[in-house]
Amino acid sequence: MIIIATINAIKEFFVKKHAEQSLKSLDAHSLRDIGFYHDNGRIRPLAGTTHENKNLTIHKMKPHKQPSDG
């Protein structure tokens, strides 16, 4: 069990590292388009941390009819 958990942690580390390297290759405008920004060499989300987002409540509203609906 410990070996599998260690392998999964290593795999997760390399997947995260690869994703961050891919995002670092983008310019500031492209990052902003997808919701990120550069901060002292790190890539950060525009909307804050996921820990902060857990406490937000989303109000479910009935969708309004749009002119393009026909």
Would 66 be classed as within a structural domain? Answer: no
Would 40 be classed as within a structural domain? Answer: yes
CB contact at 8 A, 42 and 21: no
Q: Which pLDDT score is estimated for 52? A: 53
Domain assignment of residue 10, given as a range: 2-60
Would 68 be classed as within a structural domain? Answer: no
Would 27 be classed as within a structural domain? Answer: yes
Report which secondary-structure segment, H or E, holds 14: helix 2-24
Q: Which pLDDT score is estimated for 18? A: 92
pLDDT tens digits in sequence order for the chain, 70 residues long: 899 999 999 999 999 999 888 888 888 899 889 998 888 888 888 886 555 545 545 556 666 677 776 5
Would 70 be classed as within a structural domain? Answer: no
Would 16 be classed as within a structural domain? Answer: yes
Q: Which pLDDT score is estimated for 54? A: 54
Residue 45 β-bridge partners: 36
Cα dihedral 36, 15, 41, 30 in deg (nearest 10)? -30
Would 69 be classed as within a structural domain? Answer: no
The total of structural domains in the chain comes to 1
